[in-house]
Structure 1
Amino acid sequence: MWFYRPLMTQLGAPKIPEGERVDFDDIHRKRMEKDLLELQTLIEVHFEQRKKEEEELIGLKARIESRRAERAEQQRVRAEKERDRQTRIAEERQRKEDEEAKKRADDEAKKKKVLSNMGSGRFLQAEQKRGKRQTAREIKKKTLAERRKPLATENLIEDGLRSRAKEMWEWIHQLESEKFDLTEKMKRQKYEETQQSKILPLSEQDTQTHTLFNIFK
């Protein structure tokens, strides 16, 4: 460290006048004055230097404290920003989870609605087919009942019996023919109903296909 030293006047040794009586007391006094002056100068330099060092120490402490406070403020700001960032991340995560949960719930509701509609359609078709089958059986039963005639053979003679037997044979033959036609008709009707049950109406099929595609994609 650089020390400030004031310029000191170099005092030379007192000269002894030639040809005169030497005054040793005066020489000693002057030497003492010279030493005292040098000592005072050194003391002043010391205190001046100490004052400067104390001022520098105070300034250094102030700078250290300022730097410490600045670092503390920076850490506080960083911590606050990090808390805000974590809060935003948590809120965004919660928002996405809520959206996904809502989407799953909506998809489940759509699935249930579509399946319910499809089930209702199948139930209605089954009821219609059941009604058609029941109607066909009723028609057949009614037709047979109308065509069935009592034999009434008690009072018939031989020719009458032959005629009645022929009539019965023709009637049985007709029934067999109608039975065959009705059986074939019911087979065709059953086949058509089966095919129709596999193919939904165009508008309903397009709507349900589009809905199912959006749900299950």
Structure 2
Amino acid sequence: MEKDLLELQTLIDAHFEQRRREENELVALMERIERRRAERNEQLRSRTEKERERQARLAEEKLRKEEEEAKKRAEDDAKKKKVLSTMPHFGGYLAKAEQKRGKRQTGREMKLRILAERKKPLDIEHLREDELRWIKKIPLIKKIPPQIKKNPILIKKILSNEIHPNKKATPPPELTPPLKNAPPPIKKSRPN
């Protein structure tokens, strides 16, 4: 019986020793899990911070590029306007005439120079679309006879026909010339 008790005692001791080892392993495993979780959180935090910095850097770079492009575009527009504004005055053979300062200008060159100085370039860059359409209509309005100018409906019809010639629109009867050899218009009688 003593032998059995000894055997039982060794089994109990072995069991408790095994249990203590397993508990130590479990504690070490839990510590490792917590450490890994903390490392992962730290990595995620640093990764999101780096990504945020990268996004901010990209946005700043994009904004800088857009500003540079806008500045370059503005400079190009200014150069174009400057060139276009000086072109009518010093274009073609007129520029050569300006370079020949020692020679006397002929009458024709003088007239052309005076006309070029009088003629200013059209400044229509800032106009809206409806204003440009109105400017386009001005020559058409000048062609309309004075009797018809009093009727705004007729003017609208004429302008729409002139601006959109492909549109099928019938001209007003006042503007259509009478047909030769045409029968007189039939008057509708009212029923009594």
Which interval holds the TM-score relative to the shorter structure?
A: 0.3 to 0.5
TM-score (norm 1): 0.41
Structure of higher RCO (CA pairs closer than 8 Å, 6+ residues apart): 1
Q: Which has the higher helix share?
A: 1
